[in-house]
Amino acid sequence: MSFRAKAIAIVTVLSVAPYIITVLLLGNVYRNEMRARIFEDLEYQLQNVASQIDSQLEVLEKDMRFMSTLDVMNDVLSRDLDKRITEVLIAKKSDLKLDGDFFVLDETREVIASSSVQAIGEQYAGNVFYEVPVMSSLTGSAVGALVVDYDLSTLQRTLPVSQHQQYSLAPEDSRDLETASDDLSAQVTLNRRPDLVLQLTRSQDFAFALLDNLQRFFFVGLIIGIGVIGFVAYLIANYLVNPILVLSRTAELITRTEDYSQRVDIERNDEIGTLAKTFNMMLAGMERLVARVQEEGENKLKLVQEKNRAEMLQSLSTKLSKYLSPQVYESIFSGEKDVTLSSSRKKLTIFFSDIVNFTDTTDQMESEDLTSLLNEYLSEMTDIALRYGATIDKYIGDAVMIFFGDPKSHGVTEDAVLCIQMAVAMQSRMAELREHWRRQGFTRPLSIRVGIHTGYCTVGNFGTESRMDYTILGSPVNLASRIESSAEPGTVYISEETYLLVKDQIRCVAARTITPKGFSKEVQLYRVLVDQDEGQITTLEAPGVSLTIDPSQIDKQAIADLRDKLSKLL
């Protein structure tokens, strides 16, 4: 909302608000007073009509008591079936204009006489509006009863009828007494019949019609008054606001263009004129200050840009180091390697590991627990790999691919030894982690298997000029993966090529021979002895004898063959 609109609105509201508040308060008080008077009128009318109905019921009761004392009533009850009592009952029904019938009952509640001839001789099962006992003139005891089935429509015919108000007569719990939420109603119970309620309902629209018309006239006058006051407020606001708007537009223009040569032209002798002169003086000072600051700022900007560029490069390099092995990161940022699509042939030792039955083991775990468990496992394995100087190629779910020999190498043999030592350290750490995870509630222990092979691979940057990956390719990579798949849980399997390099430094035993998928020749696998293998492996070295027994690998056929060989020697 503009400043001019706000000024007009404020002047208009201040002018009209007292008038509106006063009228609304008076109108509310008058409406409450009128409602109270309407209810008094409703109750007064109800009392008059209720008195009339009570009078009718009193007449009915007196007539019934009179008829019960007639001699002819005793005759009928003594089975002297005189038709005169029926004629009396029919005549009284007609006289009272009764919607309903009279019934004379004997002591067994059988209808002896009635204004409804069809009911004579039947057991009475109708409604009992009034019941008067019939007394014997001889014994003075009750020998029957006079009953009237009195429909409320008889009384409702006497209720006044009006277009804007309505009388209702019904039992106290009847739905006929329900009224619309916007109607005014009052109720009263009948003295003669406390179970009946007389209700008078009057339309609220009719009751407050005069007040509503006055309110409509008030609002029409209010709208006209607001229009007049708004026009006057517009004239006043223009006089007060126009100079301020000139100042505002000039300030906005200076902010948008940064041109401090702008000036305002307001010729007035009041406070606004003084403000305009001060504003122009401020602009002149700002123009001089901006020129001086601009010169100093250009010099500082160059220094800041250089500092920001250096900080940005440092931040980017730190973030990039999270996605690269330390060796690759150092070789790129030291300038030893160029980030181009290039490769070379090197003899590397390749390491593969994964968690045995990872999918089945973690199938019942929540995703948050699985994420925490996997991240902890990979963090621990990564720390060990970096400690031994490994180049981490990639993580493939729970699997880890690592190689030794590029970009830094300690020699083919030493690279193979470091790789195996790293694998043994990982298996030892896994034993500790299993106990740690068991204490945290992971009941199914996790085990890893490791496969290692040494061979010539193509290593370098592969991909495109815009997106490349530093990795290794070649059949040795595939063979290392196949060896890992053939390994037992908790073991480290190596190929014969790796075994020949490390046999003098690492204790190994022959494990099995496999023909990996995609390879035509059999591959001899060796198992690296870790701490838990100590005491299980039996070795015998003597002239002419070299024997190694691994209970985890030997089967019944091997034992039989060994016995056969020994029996031939003995």
For residue 435 the two structure tokens come to 């106990």
Q: How far is CA 236 from CA 11, 15, 228, 245, 517, in A?
A: 9, 13, 13, 14, 95
pLDDT at 276 over 60: yes
- Cβ(400)–Cβ(378) below 8 Å: yes
* Residue 331 or 173, more confident: 173
Calpha distance 170→192 (Å, rounded): 14
Q: What's the mean pLDDT in 477-481?
A: 94
pLDDT in tens, 184-197: 777 888 887 777 88
| Mean pLDDT value of segment 261-265 | 75
104 or 267: which leads in pLDDT:
104
Whole-angstrom CA distances from 197 to 44, 61, 365 are 15, 19, 70
Q: Which two tokens stand for residue 470?
A: 């530093």
Confidence category of residue 450, pLDDT binned at 50, 70, 90: very high
Q: Please give the pLDDT value at position 179.
A: 64
Residue 446 corresponds to which tokens in the numbers above? 């996790």
Query: Picking from 300-309, 327-336, 510-519, 537-546, which range would have the lowest pLDDT averaged per residue?
Result: 537-546
Instruction: Please state the length of the chain.
Output: 570
The top-scoring range by mean pLDDT among 20-29, 115-124, 207-216 is 115-124
Alpha-carbon torsion 551, 552, 554, 559, what sign?
A: positive
Distance CA 5, CA 490 (A): 81
pLDDT of 348 over the 90 cut: yes
C-alpha closest to that of 348 among 530, 501, 520: 501
- Rounded CA-CA distance 245/238 in Å is 10
Least confident of 123-132, 237-246, 395-404, 486-495: 237-246
Q: Which residues contact 42 (CB under 8 A, 6 or more apart)?
A: 184, 185, 186, 200, 202
Q: Could you give phi then psi for residue 189, rounded to 5 degrees?
A: -90, 150
Task: Judge whether residue 111 has pLDDT over 90.
Answer: no
pLDDT of residue 352: 96
Q: What is the pLDDT of residue 531?
A: 66
CA distance 453 to 484: 10
Instruction: Give the pLDDT confidence score for residue 290 in this predicted structure.
Output: 77
Burial code (b: 16+ CB inside 10 Å, e: under 16) for 198-215 equals bbbbbbbeebbeeeeeee
In this prediction, residues 499-514 reach a mean pLDDT of 93
Measured distance CA(100)–CA(92) in Å, rounded: 11
42: burial class by Cβ within 10 Å (0-12, 13-18, 19+)? buried
- Statement: residue 441 has pLDDT above 90: no
Residue percentage of the chain with pLDDT more than 70: 79
Cα(343)–Cα(332) distance, integer angstroms: 14
C-alpha closest to that of 275 among 302, 308, 250, 257: 250
Sheet containing 196-203: which strands, arranged edge to edge? 165-171, 196-203, 183-189
CB 484, CB 354: distance < 8 Å: yes
Residue 306 clears pLDDT 90, i.e. is over it? no
The whole-number average pLDDT for the span 93-115 is 83
Sign of CA dihedral 350, 356, 360, 363: negative
Q: Is the pLDDT of residue 64 over 60?
A: yes
Angle between helices 3-68 and 209-257 (to 10 degrees): 160
**Position 219 pLDDT exceeds 60:** yes
pTM beyond 0.85, yes or no: no
Look at residue 317 in the predicted model and tell me its pLDDT: 58
Q: Which distant-in-sequence residues (6+ apart) come within 8 Å of 241 by Cβ?
A: 3, 4, 7
Give the mean model confidence (pLDDT) for residues 449-473.
88
DSSP state of 491: -
Which pLDDT belongs to residue 273? Answer: 74
Using left for φ > 0, alpha for ψ between -120 and 50, and beta otherwise, residue 255 falls in alpha
> Which token pair is 463?
């991909």
Where is average pLDDT lowest: 3-17, 148-162, 283-297, 438-452? 3-17
Q: Express each pLDDT in 358-380 by its tens digit.
A: 877 677 778 888 888 889 999 99
Q: How far is CA 502 from CA 490, 494, 496, 511, in A?
A: 20, 10, 10, 16
At residue 559, φ and ψ (nearest 5 deg) are -65, -40
Phi, psi dihedral angles at 389 (to 5 degrees): 75, 25
Confidence of residue 127 (pLDDT cuts 50, 70, 90): confident
pLDDT digits (tens, 9 = 90+) for 154-211: 777 777 777 677 777 777 776 666 666 667 777 888 887 777 887 777 776 666 666 6
Lowest mean pLDDT among 120-134, 422-436, 483-497, 501-515: 120-134
SS3 assignment for 328-343: HHHHHHHCCCCCCCCE
Q: Which domains does the chain have, with CATH numbers?
A: 3-206 (3.30.450.20), 339-533 (3.30.70.1230), 535-570 (no CATH)
83-94 pLDDT, tens digit each: 778 778 888 888
Average pLDDT on 447-462 reads: 92
Task: Please determine, for residue 324, whether its predicted confidence score (pLDDT) is greater than 60.
Answer: no
Measure CA of the first residue to CA of the last residue in the chain; give whole Å. 113
d(CA 250, CA 247): 5
The H or E element spanning position 40 is: helix 3-68
pLDDT of residue 497: 95
| The residue to which tokens 């590991």 are assigned | 353
Confidence of residue 329 (pLDDT cuts 50, 70, 90): low
CA distances from 34 to 205, 206, 207, 293, 525 (A): 13, 12, 9, 76, 107
φ, ψ of residue 540 to 5 degrees: the values are -140, 115
CA 402/CA 351 separation, integer angstroms? 5
Per-residue tokens: 183: 């109607």
Distance CA 55, CA 321 (A): 106
Q: Which has the minimum average pLDDT: 15-24, 206-215, 450-459, 474-483? A: 206-215
Contacts of 443 (CB under 8 A, 6+ apart): none
Hey, what are 202's tokens?
């009057």
- Rounded mean pLDDT of 390-399? 90
Residue 298 has pLDDT above 90, yes or no: no
**Mean pLDDT throughout 299-303?**
81
Given its phi and psi angles, is residue 181 left (phi above 0), alpha (psi -120 to 50 degrees) or beta?
A: alpha
Q: Which amino acid is present at 457?
A: C
Q: Is the pLDDT of residue 547 over 60?
A: no
Note the Cα 21 to chain centre separation in Å.
Answer: 44
